[in-house]
């Protein structure tokens, strides 16, 4: 395998799981915000149930958008793994373990 291909693969091994984690972190943050908003509405005396409904709907749309993005990134991950098998002959059964084991390759990409 060429040095350029090794460096490219190392970047992808680092960047794809990192993107997946960041999307999950964003989904957790929006979910926490949703919990806080609904709790605040419920616990604030004198606030009608209809107050904040538009905000809650927007947060729900943001959650769904993040779920869609997460699915797209997972599909990209699978497609890149297929390309790696075809192009470089990688045998990628468990991408996260390969990402953890690739520290020497990652250093070359930095």
Domain-by-domain residue ranges, the chain? 3-109
Band of residue 107 on the pLDDT scale cut at 50, 70, 90: very low
Band of residue 59 on the pLDDT scale cut at 50, 70, 90: very high
pLDDT, tens digit, 9 for 90 and up, residues 43-54: 999 988 888 999
Averaged confidence pLDDT in the chain:
84
What is the 3-class SS of 22-45, one letter each residue?
HHHHHHHHHHHHHHHHHHHHHHCC
């Amino acid at each position: 395998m060429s040095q350029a291909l090794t460096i490219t693969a190392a970047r992808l091994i680092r960047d794809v799981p990192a993107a997946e984690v960041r999307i999950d972190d964003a989904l957790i943050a929006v979910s926490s915000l949703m919990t806080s908003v609904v709790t605040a509405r419920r616990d604030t005396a004198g606030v009608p149930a209809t107050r904040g409904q538009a905000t809650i709907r927007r947060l729900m749309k943001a959650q769904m958008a993040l779920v869609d993005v997460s699915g797209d990134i997972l599909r990209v991950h699978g497609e890149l793994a297929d390309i790696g098998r075809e192009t470089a002959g990688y045998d990628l059964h468990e991408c996260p373990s390969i990402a953890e084991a690739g520290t020497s390759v990652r250093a070359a990409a930095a």
